[in-house]
Structure 1
């Protein structure tokens, strides 16, 4: 009691100014303690795994869980049919000086088709695809394709399992340039890499039933990693791969040692709204860096109008994919125009102003056409487009995974030409444990395909931080 009375007397003896300091300090300390307690009590939420069956017909009592080797194949008949279809293509004349503003310029499209018909060697590319081991295994009724690349040597090395997940209109082939980089010795660290094809894409079987979305894909890929014997592993994703790997981390955070993303978004909130309103004038007040300001503003031009200009395909695929898919599934040149236009504008929006869409500035025609051939030979363009409809059904705000935070250690890499920029201060609304955030000097949406060395280096540094190497 004497100590309490002493404190009262001491406070009474202070002048008004010092009383305000004492009160302010007390309030600040109280707020800090409440925040710390809140963080400590913040429970890691998880999404229920659920269950599914995507095979034809009814679910059997048991499922074959064997893992079988797979080899990409082709035939003279397949190539002959392709050439005949290319030869019969009907082209529309482009508008004068229209570049890529109206979509894929048909003058340049004729050049691409000519190369495809007379110079592109699909048999050679098939041999290249088979340089890494391919496998298939049946999960929830459908065959899941993946490549599994082990390091050439792992003596005295820490071998870390890593799953890389592609998006649309990409494929597992996007990662071929970074595989040799990841499986090297990085001062005692190397990677064992698993690259699956999303069901309905490439060599993975398409779901036979409605409802197959990112949550179903995440569950299947978790089962794949478990079947391969991995209890803990790292994940990397962009585009749909980002959504799938985030869902994997939300379902089984105890299995995910780290999540690396090259496309990510934040949850809406006061911080985001304030950043949009005053970020270009007073960035330091809302946690934006100079680079954030440069990439974000003018906000509506870069993040609203540009997105509206470039996402017409998304609205079509999210509503009537089977209708839109008929033509491109039947015409190889139509398929090439539809997919390659995305590799133009998603790499750099300014490429719309070029007659050739800037496609060969970052990619070779052999690489681009190999990705096209994965869609063409498997007839998977329609089933890949359906993934949009399944993921955008109903109101997105009702999806539990989009409202739930991500608790696993996360590495974020921001490429300057990505379709949308998400500052670290925004990302913290969703990702609670950001271990690294990197501004890349160049590169766009197809980061691993465009800038393999930059991409691989960031994955390596992120894992090294977590492995303390």
Structure 2
């Protein structure tokens, strides 16, 4: 009797492999870059600085080794599965500890699963990293639709809500009946949606960005000094640091042509995300002095992933979807979060949300902490500190 495999629910092994021709083509394009003249200001207020991009280009075309990250990814259990018509890529590492808690973590833009790789070991095998077996997790790291090795949506509708629903399907397909979710940046919006949908099995969420703050700015407290500082940071983001967000939420296809045609154009667009991260990345390339885990190789692993997969435009389209979600939901009270919420604020974030902000948006907050270092890419920059926060956040839910 033959066995019929349902292709729409099957989980298939996956490996990363690009041709040498693709790698050589990237190097040729980098070498052929036409750089603009130097910016007319001594800071980054006109954008990514020429010195930074030229230093990045020299290292990228001359010393960087993409095969190294291919080997790193292929040493991990990677899979794909089709959910709602889109092929979803994910890394799935089970803990050696029997009672580990299943955890699905979602990256953001301009990130990828690369930014979460250094958390896998400490999360899945804490006893090998100075922790306790009671803090172990089974870790699932999906690539967002249109990002990295996941397929590109061919129809509209893939904003945070449908992605959250797809993640619930993924965890169910993996056999997890009780799990938690974590996210920052785009991942925070997805994790927020998971908490509001309350799928069977989800018992708690953790975030490190108050993703919906832009939409509820008027109701966020502004009395204490931390609250006023957060409002000032949010105002600065929406006036002076909002360029990439505005372009991608209104015209992702337009910027997409540049992102798929020029490696240096892609790199500049990705580096211009936020001042704190940019200054740290610039320091790594210009001064050879990385902050935390934001080394030249780590940064280029992520940028090269976008380049090799050709996902600059498809990743940007999520912002178009999110912009319309925000417009459609403006003035409406969102459904309540169905599970306990935990939150960590990192000081270098776009806007470091104080406890009062988090509790305003999430009345079911059960854990809040302000870390002493780290920025927007907290898991990438400070993987040990980030891991400790995830462990602490979910400890009461075990």
TM-score by length of 2: 0.89
1:360 and 2:290 are equivalent in the alignment = yes
The 5 Å alignment of 1:164-243 reads: 164-184=105-125, 185=127, 186-243=132-189
Partner in structure 1 of residue 311 of structure 2: 380
SS at match of 2:147: coil
Query: Which residues in structure 2 correspond to 1:366-445 (within 5 Å)?
Result: 366-393=297-324, 396=327, 398=329, 403-445=334-376
* Distance across 1 between alignment mates of 2:217 and 2:236: 21
C-alpha distance in 2 between matches for 1:79 and 1:465: 47
The 8 Å contact of residues 90 and 140 in structure 2, kept in 1 or not, is answered as yes
User: Is 1:99–1:357's contact at 8 Å kept on the other side of the alignment?
Assistant: no
Which secondary structure does the structure 2 equivalent of 1:176 belong to? helix
Q: Distance in 1 between matches of 2:40 and 2:288?
A: 18
Aligned partners of 2:39 and 2:50 also within 8 Å: no
Shift of 1:131: 1.7
Change (3 A) 1:401 1:347: farther
2: CA distance between counterparts of 1:435 and 1:360?
34
Q: Deviations over 1:60-85 (max 9, x none)?
A: xx852111000011221111111111
The equivalent of 1:93 in structure 2 is 37
The 2-side partners of 1:428 and 1:442 are apart by: 22
Q: CA deviation at 1:297?
A: 3.2
1:317-354 Cα deviation digits (max 9, x unpaired): 11111011111210011111111232x62537799999
Give the superposition deviation at 1:187: 3.9
Q: Say whether the 8 Å CA contact 1:234–1:258 is kept in structure 2.
A: yes
Unpaired stretches in structure 2, ≥5 consecutive residues: 1-5
Instruction: Write out per-residue CA displacement over residues 11-36 of structure 1, whole angstroms, 9 at most, x where no aligned residue.
Output: xxxxxxxxxxxxxxxxxxxxxxxxxx
Distance 1:187 1:214, change over 3 A: same
Paired residue secondary structure (2:361): coil
Match of 1:244 in 2: 190
Specify the structure having the higher radius of gyration (Cα): 1
Does the 8 Å CA contact 1:100/1:356 hold for their aligned counterparts?
no
Number of residues of Structure 1 aligned to a counterpart in Structure 2: 385
1:357–1:196 distance in 2 versus 1, CA, 3 Å: farther
* Residue 328 (1) aligns with residue 274 (2): no
The secondary structure found in structure 2 opposite 1:297 is helix
* Pair 1:313-2:244 in alignment: yes
Q: Is the 8 A contact 1:163 1:195 kept in 2?
A: yes
Measure, in 2, the Cα distance between the counterparts of 1:134 and 1:235.
Answer: 19
Decide which moves more: 429-438 or 78-87. 429-438
**Can you give the 5+ residue segments of structure 1 that lack an aligned partner in the other structure?**
1-61, 281-292
Offset at residue 255 of structure 1 (A) = 1.8
C-alpha distance in structure 2 between counterparts of 1:172 and 1:315, whole Å: 24
TM-score (norm 1): 0.76
**2:146 aligned counterpart, secondary structure:** coil
Match of 1:287 in 2: none
Measure the CA separation in 2 of the matches of 1:245 and 1:418: 18
CA distance in 2, matches of 1:458, 1:179: 14
**How many angstroms does 1:250 deviate by?**
1.7
Q: Secondary structure at the match of 1:64?
A: coil
Q: Is the 8 A contact 1:182 1:190 kept in 2?
A: yes
Alignment of 1:123 onto 2:54: no
- Report the CA distance between 1:179 and its aligned residue: 0.7
- Structure 2 CA distance for partners of 1:226 and 1:355, relative to 1, 3 Å: closer
1:88-140 residue CA offsets vs partner (Å, 9 max, x unmatched) = 11001213553322111112211111111110011122111212111001111
Pairing 1:34-113 to 2, within 5 Å after superposition: 64-96=8-40, 98-113=42-57
CA distance in 2 between partners of 1:130 and 1:201 (Å): 18
Q: 1:439 to 1:125 in 2, by over 3 A?
A: same
| Distance in 1 (alpha carbons) for counterparts of 2:308 and 2:160 | 24
Distance (Å, rounded) in 1 between the aligned partners of 2:123 and 2:285: 36
Contact 1:133 1:148 in 2 (8 A): yes
